Amino acid sequence: MDVLVTGGAGFIGSNLVDSLAASGQDVRVFDELSTGSLDTLRDLGGFGEVITGDVRDLDSVRRAVDGVEVVYHLAALPSVARSVADPLTTHAVNVDGTLNVLVASRDAGVRRVVYASSSSIYGNSLALPKLEEMPPSPLSPYAASKLSGEAYCRVFARMYNLETVSLRFFNVFGPRQDPASEYAAVIPRFIDRMLMGTPPEIFGDGKQSRDFTYVDNAVHALRLAALAGPDAVGESLNVGCGEQTTLLQLVEMINDVLGTSIRPLFLSLRAGDVRHSLADISKAHRLIGYRPKVSVSGGLAKTISWFAHRSPISETAS
């Protein structure tokens, strides 16, 4: 078995599995299926096997990593809002689960673990763009859990000689992202509502900005991180598009693609939300050769097309 993708039935995970399988790699998926769906893998015949299990269960994780060379650890409970409502479960899945993956990988002789972290670890620092050397300042249990996972990865790289690379993803979006969840990300929520002619909901004034990153860029970075040289081991790297987009601009971009003029509905700010985010990706370029392949506007057009033409099966996928 070449690789394991934890969370491989989820949004980023299924796109990664698709890419790996298309290149001929033997892929094993490990997923608890509470936020992911096997429907996302239905068209990927012959990619390997699926193990249903929870990263909180060390024995299940040990079975999943057996005989694997590279682990892409994407399994997590996403969403700042969810973590604010339930910090204990967020910690158990994102921190304890990550520690289980690292322990099991070390014991099984896995060569490298690529860990999906988050730009949320930077908090509300006014300095832009975000540099990996900036002091972290997490504002939510979710952000704190991702930072803890990075710390464990760094420790295992230095103490146990398990190669790890942590990627701080900036607002990943694209096909297979679930718009229906209470904790859905902003782009699928906006697109889903605007396709129905419904105003998108903005928490705050809409001037908050994000570095939206199309999912193909995230998959590209994950695969590069698995193959990168020793200088990347133990490091944390920003993965973004290097473009700053406000939520008001996002609404206009979607309107432009749809040929509509739908105005947003403004709601109260949410606890734990970051005001501005923009990635400096020079370190990722230097250490793993990462550059974004798809622009925000290009990715948005692809995503809107997918949402507009998705099948009933896709509507349940995450």
| Domain membership flag for residue 165 | yes
- Is 142 an active-site residue? yes
pLDDT at 315: 38
Measured torsion, CA atoms of residues 32, 184, 296, 298, in degrees rounded to the nearest 10: 80
Strands 209-210 and 245-246: antiparallel
Number of domains in the chain: 1
Does a structural domain hold residue 229? yes
Q: Which residues contact 31 (CB under 8 A, 6 or more apart)?
A: 6, 7, 8, 9, 10, 13, 50, 51, 52, 53, 75
List per-block mean pLDDT (blocks of 10 residues) for the chain, which spans 318 residues: 92 94 93 76 68 97 98 94 94 98 98 97 92 95 97 98 97 91 82 96 94 97 98 98 96 97 94 87 98 96 93 37
Question: What pLDDT, on a 0 to 100 scale, did the predictor assign at position 314?
Answer: 37
Give the dihedral sign, CA 108/114/116/120: positive
Strand partners, 236: 166
Residue whose structure tokens are 């969840």 = 181
Q: What are the DSSP calls for 114-167, one per residue?
A: EEEEEGGGGTT---SSB-TTSPP---SHHHHHHHHHHHHHHHHHHHS--EEEEE
Query: pLDDT per residue over 15-42, tens digit each?
Result: 999 999 999 999 999 999 876 667 777 6
User: Do the beta carbons of residue 202 and residue 268 sit within 8 Å?
Assistant: no
Amino acid at 161: N
Q: Is 187 part of a structural domain of the chain?
A: no
The range of the structural domain enclosing residue 147 comes to: 3-170+215-240+278-292
pLDDT digit string (tens) for 82-94? Answer: 899 999 999 999 9
52 within domain boundaries: yes
Whether residue 176 contacts residue 314, with contact meaning beta carbons closer than 8 Å, is answered with yes
pLDDT of residue 108: 98
- Return the beta strands (E) in 186-257 as ranges: 201-203, 209-210, 213-214, 236-239, 245-246
Question: Tell me, what's the pLDDT at 43?
Answer: 57
Is 199 within a domain? no
In a domain, 83, yes or no: yes
**Residue 210: partners with Cβ closer than 8 Å, 6 or more residues away:** 170, 171, 186, 244, 245, 247, 277
Catalytic residue among 115, 142, 214, 290: 142
**234 is a domain residue:** yes
297 residue type, one letter = S
Smallest Cα–Cα separation from 61: which of 18, 21, 90, 32?
32
Considering the domain boundaries, does residue 271 fall inside one? no
Give pLDDT, residue 318. 30
Q: Which residue shows structure tokens 């860029």?
A: 217
pLDDT at residue 39, as a whole number: 72
CATH number at residue 75: 3.40.50.720
CA pair distance 38, 43, nearest whole angstrom: 10
- pTM value is 0.92
